[in-house]
Chain A
C-alpha cells in the first residue's frame, strides 16, 4: 500500500471537485481499499474493546492518499463525505459477511441477562439500519446523507454543513428528524430488534 500521498488520487479528487463525475467512480475503490486496510490494521493492533474512531481513520487515509499541498479545504471535506459513504459500505459488508459466516456457539447465554452476544446484535442492527437508510434516501436524500456523514463518517455538524452547503442549523434539524424516523422505523419492523443497540457504545 502506498506510504506516501498518491498523485493519482490527488488528481482524481481535484478533478471531482471541479465537477468530473467519473473521477469519483475511479476514486472510490482506492479509498475503500485504504480505509478497510487501515480499519482492520487498527483494530487488530489494539487491545480488545478498543474504540475505532472513524475520524482518525479517515484523516489517516486522507494523509496517506492525498497530497494536501495540492488540494483545497473543500476537497478535503469532499474526501470526508466519500469516506462516510465508504465506511458505511465497508461496515455493512463486514456485517453481512459475518452474518452469513460462522455463527452460534461462541457466546452461550447462561445466567446473565443482556447476554445476547452484543456483536451479533449490533451486526444485525447495522444491516437493518442500512436498509432503513436506503428507504429514507427515497424520501429525503439529504437527510440520509446527513446520517451517513455523521454516523458512518464521523463528521461534525460544521463539516457536514460545508460538504452539503447548507446551514448548520438545517443539518441539526434534519438530523433530529432523520434519527427519529429511523428509530421509529427500526422499532416497527422488528419488535425483537431494539434499535438502541446501535446506541453509542461509550
Chain B
C-alpha cells in the first residue's frame, strides 16, 4: 500500500467508523462504488476495530514491565502461600498463575490459582473474584474440579485452591475422526450433568472448551475453572466509547468455543454454556471444529454468521438424533437452543439407552421410524420416548389445556417453588402476575439486582430488562406492566417483557405495598401514609397521613376495591393492626371490626376478606359497600408464614404464600472457629436454647416443650420437665442442677431442678410475670433474668438464689436482655436497644464504671469464652469475637469475624472458646420456598360452602 492509498482508506474508514453499524453498508455502497479493494480494506479495518477490544489501549510498560525483572516472581517452587507449599507452576492464565501446591494442613495436593497483585488492589475486582469463587465452591459434583477455598494472605494476596486433577485435557484425547459413540456418550452425559448441576446453583462456566475438560487416568471427565472464566472477562473496562465489544467484557483465549452472544459482547446466560458444550461435542464426535477460521476475526465472523456443516454430513455414522441435538445446541439464537442443560442430559441418556438396547444407531435414524428396517422393540420404545421428549413443552401444554377445557376440570395442584438460584431472591416480595402465569422475584445479589421473572411454564427465571435494583414490585391489572421502587428513589414501571424504565414519580424510597387500579392510577403506601399517582407519571396526591399521636406506625398493603372508589389497607399501631377502608371521594377512613393481629387483608370477588393470623390463612365475609365484616372467620390453610405480606391470589385462582419453617427439623451441631460444623448426634426435633455444662460433657436443651439433659459422649438423654411449656434452660455453677422457665396456664415460673431428673422442681419466682434466666454469678449466688413487660419492653433484674429476692438492674424504656456474667464475675454483657439499634454492651460488675458498647454495628446474643476477655456475639448469621481490655479502662481491643452460618438465635460456647454449640435447621428460620396452589379458588369455594 502506498501512503496515498492509505490516506484514502483511512479517510473512508474514519468516516465509516463514526456511523452506526447499520448505516455503514449504505455509506460504503455510495463511497466505494466499483472500488472493491477499497471496500475490502475498509471492511477489514472495521472488523479489526470491532474485535480489537483492549488491544494496546493500556500502557506498554504495564503490559511487559516484567521484562525488567528477569521474570523473577515472589511465588515460586519451594515458596509458600499461607499453609500451601508451592511445588511447581502448572500454567499462567489470563487471571494469574496456577501452581501445583501442597496443603500442609490436610496433606493433599491442590491447584492454587493466584490473583495478580495489580488486580488484588482493585476492590471491585476482588469482591467479584471472591463472590464468583465462592459460588463455584458450592458446586459439588464428581465431574467438576472442586473449589476448596477462597483465601487471602495477611499481605492481601488473593488466591483460591482447587482440586488438583491429574490426567489429560480432552483436546489431547480426540482422535482424528472423533471419539467412538460409547466414550462420547459416557463423557458428555457426565459433563452435561455437571453443567446442569452448576446452572441450578446459578453458576455459569462461560469458558467451556476442551482444554478446560480433563480426563482423569480413570477415564472420568472433570470440568476445570468453574465460574472463573467470567471473572477474567468481566474485568475489562475501556475509556474508548467507540469500542462496542468492550462494554461487557472482551474475551481472552480462543473464540472458537464462544457463543455468538459472548462474541458480540452481549449479555450471556447459561444457554451460552449450552452453545459452548455443543461446540465441544461437535469437535469430540467428528474430530473437526465447527468454527475454524484462520484467525480470530474470521472465527468470530463465522461464529456470528455461518452455520457449521451438519454433524451427520461430516460423520455419517453418527445417529441422527445426536446430530440434531448438537446442532440445536449450536443455534445462534439462545432461545432456539435447549433452554436447560437438563434437556441435553436427558436426551444423551435416551440415546445411550437406545444404543445399549441394541438398536443400530449407525445409520441416520429416520430409517428407525420408517418401518423399512427391522428394529428391536426396545430400541423403538427408546426412540419413541425420545420423540416425546423432543416434542416441545408448548405442545404438551396445549394438549393439556384442551383436555382441561373439555372436561371443565379445574384440578387443585400444590407445589413449592425455589426462588431463582444465585439471586439471593427476596422471597418475601415475590409476586404473581394477574394471569397467574409468572412469578416475580426481586434479587439481592449481584451487581445489578434486577427483578426476575419465572414463567411457570419454564424451569428458568430471567431478569427483566430495565428493572435493575428494583424492589417492592407490583403489577398493572392487565399484567402488561410492572411497577417497582428503586434504590435511587422513586417508582418506575417497565413492560413485563422488559424495556426502558419509565418514571412514575420520584418520591418514595420503598413502599409497604402498592395497588394499580383499573383507572391507571397507582396507590402506594410509604412511610408517610397512602398516596395516589397516575401510572403515566406525575406528582403524587396524599390520601392518608400516619397519625403519630394515635400511636400509628404505618399504613400498609393498600388494595383498590372493585369499582375503584374505595381502598382497603392496614393500619399498624404500637399495639396492634387494624384493617381500614378509605373512601377516595370523601377521604373518610373507616376501621373494620378488630380481627386480631393481622398483617394484610385482601378482598376476594366472592365477597370475602382473606387474611393471615398467627399461622392461619383465613377468610371472613365482607361487604365492601357497607364496609362491614360478618360471621366467623373460616380457617383455610395452616402453616402460613404470616409475618410477611406475601400471600396473593391471581385472577385465574392461583394462590401463592410462604409456608412456615418446620422447626421439627432442628438438630444440634458443634461449630469450630472456622465455621466447620458437625452434628452433635443424629436426633432431629424442635431443639432450641442449648447450653454446655461446666464440665463440657453434657448439654441442656429445650426439645419440643420440655427441657432435656443429654450426655454428649453416649447420647443418653434425661427429660427434666414433665408438664407445661418449658424453655430457656441454663446450668448451675456446679453442673448438678438446671434452671429453666415453665409456662403453665399463663403463669411463668423459673424453676431449679436436679440435672439427673431426680427430686422436685424448686420455684425461684412466682406470679404472672414472665421471666427468663440467663446467667449465674460465680461467687454472689445471683441470677440474671429478663423480665418481659406487658408493653413488649424487656428489662433485666437479678434474683438472689438464696432468699429469692429480686433487684432491678437495667430498667430503661428500651429493650434489654440476655445478660451474662463473665466467668470471673467482674463484667456483665447484655443486649440493649438503648442506642436505637441492637447492640451488645459490657459494664463492670461490683465496681463503678461506665458501660461501653462492644459492637460497632448491630449485634446480639453475647456469650463469654472462658478467659474473661473474649466475648462472642452475632449479627444476623455472622458471628464475631471481640477482645476486651479490662484495665486500666474497659475498651474493645479488636473485633474479628469468625464465621457465617444459618443457625437459630440462641447458642453457647465451650469454656475453652473453641467450640460453639448451635441449633441448625437446613431450611433456616425463614421460608426459602414459595408455595403455589393452582386453582386454589376451587378449594376455597368448597371450604366456604361446606362451612355454611
Contact = CB atoms under 8 A, between A and B. Distances in A.
Nearest to A185: B48
B44 A184 contact: yes
B67 A123 contact: yes
B889 interface: no
A88 B7 CA distance: 25
A39 interface: yes
B863 to A, nearest CB: 41
Interface string A139-155: 11001000100111010
Contacts of A94: 64, 67-68
Given A52-B62, A98-B67, A113-B169, A176 B90 contact: no
B413 interface: no
Contacts of B66: 43, 48-49, 119
A142 to B, nearest CB: 11
A142 B247 CA distance: 29
B116 A110 contact: no
A40 B68 contact: yes
A187 interface: yes
A54 B59 contact: yes
B63 A201 contact: yes
Contacts of B17: 176-177, 180
B68 A52 contact: yes
B45 A111 contact: no
Nearest to A151: B56
Given A91-B67, A119-B66, A152 B60 contact: yes
Given A52-B61, A180-B49, A42 B253 contact: no
A140 B48 CA distance: 18
Contacts of B238: 200
Contact of A53 (B13, B59, B67, B236): B59
Contact of A126 (B52, B59, B64, B212): B64
A122 B55 CA distance: 12
A50 to B, nearest CB: 6
A154 B57 CA distance: 10
B283 to A, nearest CB: 14
A116 B212 CA distance: 14
A50 B65 contact: yes
Interface string B112-125: 00001111001000
B884 interface: no
A119 B71 contact: yes
B69 interface: yes
B319 to A, nearest CB: 30
B857 interface: no
A115 B53 contact: no
A interface bracket (residues with beta carbon within 8 Å of B): 35 or more
B242 interface: yes
Contacts of B59: 51-55, 151, 154, 200
A39 B60 CA distance: 12
A114 B169 CA distance: 13
A181 interface: yes
B89 interface: yes
A107 interface: yes
Given A119-B71, A177-B14, A199-B54, A108 B88 contact: yes
Contacts of B91: 107-115
A181 B48 contact: yes
B63 to A, nearest CB: 5
Nearest to A42: B68
B10 interface: yes
Interface residues of B, number: 74
B491 interface: no
Contacts of A129: 56
B65 A39 contact: yes
A194 interface: yes
A138 interface: yes
A196 B53 CA distance: 7
A139 B1 CA distance: 8
A198 B56 contact: yes
A95 B98 CA distance: 24
A44 B59 CA distance: 19
A183 interface: yes
A196 B56 CA distance: 8
B765 interface: no
A137 to B, nearest CB: 10
A48 B56 contact: no
Q: Indicate the member of B98, B118, B253 with the most A CB atoms within 10 Å.
A: B118
A199 B94 CA distance: 11
Contacts of B52: 179-180, 183, 195-196
Q: Indicate the member of B7, B65, B98, B212 with the most A CB atoms within 10 Å.
A: B65
Interface stretch (B292-300, B566-574, B710-718): B292-300
Interface in B32-88: 44-49, 51-69, 71-75, 88
Given A39-B61, A196-B52, 17 more contacts: A47-B74, A91-B61, A95-B64, A107-B92, A111-B224, A112-B91, A112-B225, A117-B92, A118-B94, A119-B92, A123-B64, A151-B60, A184-B47, A187-B297, A195-B52, A198-B63, A200-B57
Interface of A: 39-40, 42-44, 47-55, 57, 87-88, 91, 94-95, 98, 106-119, 122-123, 126, 129, 138-140, 143, 147, 150-152, 154, 173, 176-177, 179-184, 187-188, 191, 194-196, 198-202
Give 5 closest A-B pairs by Cβ, nearest first. A200-B58, A115-B91, A52-B65, A113-B211, A184-B48
Interface of B: 1-3, 6-7, 10, 13-14, 17, 44-49, 51-69, 71-75, 88-94, 96, 98, 111, 116-119, 122, 165, 167, 169, 209, 211-212, 214, 224-225, 236, 238, 240, 242, 250, 252-253, 294-297
